[in-house]
Structure 1
Amino acid sequence: MKRRAVLLSLAAFLLLAGVALALAPPPAPQIDWWVISAGGGHAEAGVYTLEATIGQPVVGRVVNSTYELCAGFRCDVTVAHKTYLPLIRKSD
């Protein structure tokens, strides 16, 4: 009788532990390594997009339904071109 109670308790514990593990949220994405890229450009894979600048550590914005990563000095910059130096134009 005692052995049966122990086995039932163990089975119930394992069943509840399995359910708890199955319902646990997935782990957050991790970056376990880094690089310094040598060239600029555009890289895209699925929901991830990377805009890079020559000589800058990997930069850009990565967004999905849960997470957002924005790295580098170009991050969150709206594209607005202004002329800060004197502009010389050829007139006809």
Structure 2
Amino acid sequence: MNIPHSLVGVADSATTHTILKDEKYLSHLTMDETNINIISGSIKLIEGSRRANILLPRGMKFVIGDALFSSKSQRSLLSFKDICRNGYHIET
């Protein structure tokens, strides 16, 4: 399966929200800078949020009700919660 490079990310069991690096997946993006907490402290990383609709190869659809947008992020982070809500199962 070929996943678009801008969507390639990490499934992260510690993240509370999915963070996407490319705004094209977010419909009607609401811009609002927000601080988030990371191990080294609080940083202003989030630039906006909105519903994300991602069409994967073979017609598979991935819908995230409240995804966060960060063009500064090094990669997209997919939360386990959002993956499970879409009917997918993750094994670690």
TM-score (normalised: structure 1): 0.22
Structure with the larger RCO, 1 or 2 (CA within 8 Å, 6+ apart): 2
Rg bigger for which structure?
1
The two structures have a TM-score, normalised by structure 2, of 0.22
Q: Which has the higher helix share?
A: 1
Higher strand share: 2
